[in-house]
Amino acid sequence: MRRQILPALVAFCVLTVVVGLAYPLAVTGVAQVVFRERADGSLVRSGDTVVGSSLVGQGFTGAQYFHPRPSAAGDGYDTSASGASNLGPTNPDLVGAGGVVAERAAAYRAENRVPDDVAVPVDAVTASGSGLDPEISVANAGMQVERVAAARGMAVDEVRALVAEHTRARPLGVFGEVGVNVLELNVALDAAPGR
């Protein structure tokens, strides 16, 4: 029995050191050297203060800010309760006459002065699978430009230029959709001269 226990304990100790310590430290070290910003959580700063991560959506409600997708995460943008609403595309609570989408569309139209004959972008009225999507579509951002410009006393073209600067291409040119990172855009707006 002793001949079997001793090699097992040695293997356990060696594997614990290699797999539990050496490998994670090596991967962390390489990540810090090669992908420093991403390895630290893709943090967004306003001056010297960390205000969030470019990978996690946050709630913005003021007229002077671009608003993100609606959140299904807990009590609004709660990272500990990330998840979808679980309402299917035919659920009347979601798409019915008095459903969530209709309510959100009416509020979006009123807030951004969108006429009834213009379609509201789908990402303006539906939550993402995580409930914490950090990006909105270019169409959604475009419909919010005039409201944000008016609230900040900025020229519409100046706000459109900031939207263009914070628009991300499709990953690898084919995956996903073109999007605008809301947190990064709002931080840039706050940092704009005289704003």
Extract the runs of DSSP E, i.e. beta strands, from the chain. Answer: 43-46, 49-53, 135-137, 167-168, 179-181
More confidently predicted of 129 and 102: 102
pLDDT of residue 170: 83
Residues 6+ apart with CB under 8 A from 72: 83, 84, 85, 127, 128, 131
1-6, Cβ contacts within 8 angstroms, sequence gap of 24 or more: none
pLDDT category at 161 given cuts 50, 70, 90 is: very high
Q: Is the pLDDT of residue 194 over 70?
A: no
| Pairing relationship of beta strands 49-53 and 43-46 according to DSSP bridges | antiparallel
pTM above 0.85, yes or no: no
pLDDT of residue 74: 66
**Among 73-77, 129-133, 180-184, whose mean pLDDT is lowest?**
73-77
Q: What is the largest CA-CA distance in the chain?
A: 82
pLDDT of residue 181: 92
